[in-house]
């Protein structure tokens, strides 16, 4: 199980199962959202958000 959170730990999540291969997307939306040349991502089963 993979655990994670935002930097202030206000939102925490858990992911069960294997992660898919990592990828960098260079489409216009993925360049605009972070303000960079690409956005990095990795597929997985839907996360479970923890209160």
What is the binding site for Zn ion (CB under 5 A)? 25, 27, 30
Shortest distance in whole angstroms from residue 40 CB to Zn ion: 11
The C-alpha atoms of residue 8 and residue 42 are separated, in whole angstroms, by: 22
Closest separation between CB of residue 25 and Zn ion, Å?
A: 3
Nearer to Zn ion, 11 or 40 (CB): 40
Report the sign of the C-alpha dihedral through residues 27, 33, 35, 4, in that order: negative
Q: Of 15 and 30, which CB lies nearer to Zn ion in the complex structure?
A: 30
Max CA distance (Å), the chain: 34
């Amino acid at each position: 199980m993979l655990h994670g959170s935002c930097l202030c730990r206000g939102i925490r999540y858990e992911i069960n199962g294997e992660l898919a291969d990592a990828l960098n997307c260079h489409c216009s939306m993925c360049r605009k959202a972070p303000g960079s040349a690409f956005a990095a991502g990795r597929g997985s089963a839907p996360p479970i958000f923890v209160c």
